[in-house]
Amino acid sequence: MEENLDFLEVFPKGRNGLYIVYEVYTFDNLFRLLLKNNFNHREALCFILCTCSLSALVFQERLHNKRYKKLSAEDAIDPNLAAHKARLIYDLIYNH
């Protein structure tokens, strides 16, 4: 499997080194991009669980309710745009 995950360099990270995914928009974009990079749904879920800090809302709305299974690679936006949007959302919410 050949992945191009360079866009993750822009994603916000916490002090613990985990990517910050506190809202569903960022989760959806990240998940779709992983699918686009040849991850299957299970691999994408494992990657996110191992490398991301998730909010309770994201966990409930996307993982517990299994809505991540409906996401597809065809809906993925440009990786750099997704990463910069994630950074912007994080900065607006947490670095006001």
**pLDDT one-digit tens code per residue, 26-46:** 999 999 999 999 999 999 999
* Main-chain phi, psi angles of 62, to 5 degrees: -110, -40
What is the pLDDT, as a whole number, of residue 96?
62
The band of 4, judged by pLDDT with boundaries at 50, 70 and 90, is confident
Range of the domain at 83: 11-94
Q: Does the residue 5 lie in any domain?
A: no
Q: Does the residue 35 lie in any domain?
A: yes
| String of DSSP letters for 17-70 | SPEEE-SHHHHHHHHHHHHHTT--HHHHHHHHHHHEEE-HHHIIIIIIT-GGGG
Q: Does the residue 46 lie in any domain?
A: yes
The model carries a pTM of 0.88
Q: Cβ–Cβ contacts within 10 Å for residue 66, how many?
A: 10
Q: Does the residue 2 lie in any domain?
A: no
**pLDDT one-digit tens code per residue, 38-81:** 999 999 999 999 999 999 999 999 999 999 999 999 999 999 99
- Per-residue pLDDT, averaged over 18-28, amounts to 94
Q: Does the residue 6 lie in any domain?
A: no
Q: Does the residue 1 lie in any domain?
A: no
The band of 1, judged by pLDDT with boundaries at 50, 70 and 90, is very low
Q: Does the residue 80 lie in any domain?
A: yes
Q: Name the domain count of the chain.
A: 1
Q: Is the separation of the CB atoms in 8 and 83 below 8 Å?
A: yes
Q: Does the residue 4 lie in any domain?
A: no
